Structure 1
Amino acid sequence: MNIAYWIVAGLLALFYLYAGTLKVTRSRDQLRPMMAWVDRIPLPALRALGTVEVLGATGLILPPLTGIAPPLALAAAGGFVLLQAGAIAVHLTGEDRRIALNLGLTTTAAVTIWLATRL
């Protein structure tokens, strides 16, 4: 289970580290081709969302790696499930109704929670 956790959590952390960094560093114009919904939320909220994603990615990796506060990994994965529930709602209420990636990320975060409880 330990190897499975690191594979799943590592991939999830890489995705959120990448996506969060983009949201923090790029302009709306640069994000729009990848994320059609960026015009629907204020820029400070977009930056905050990116920061939450980067911190969550860190929370998936550092606590189990260092042995300091390992339950934070569960909290980070649970936060990603909630984040994706909100993302699905944003997609479904707007013009962009593509939610396959969001469902995949929700499932991956849920599997990460399950694996983290087995460590």
Structure 2
Amino acid sequence: MLILECPYCGIKGEETEFHAGGEAHLKRFGPGSSDEDFETYLFMRENPKGVHLERWRHANGCGKWFHAARCTMTLEVFGTYSAQSFEPPKEIKDILTAKRPGWSWRNFK
């Protein structure tokens, strides 16, 4: 079972306290984008064996969305951070690098 901490209200709880929202840091294309860009936004998702960045919502608490870095193999949670971030904060990247040398996810290293 995952244990997540909401970065907004500080509540730590089991994954049943939260609601998974899929992959984090997706780039949404606006009007006038190509069909290929829109198709990529709608259908192409990472499904890694290892480090993954995800969106979560504190459904049974403050109701806010946030991002979490975790390992899909071990269910280890490396940290959570604001959903308004364009990339994981340095502290989480440092934790990931220390625990999973050579990790990468999309354009993040």
Structure 2 length normalisation: TM-score? 0.32
Structure 1 length normalisation: TM-score? 0.30
Q: Which of the pair has the greater relative contact order for Cα pairs under 8 Å at 6+ separation?
A: 1
Higher strand share goes to which structure?
2
Higher helix share goes to which structure?
1
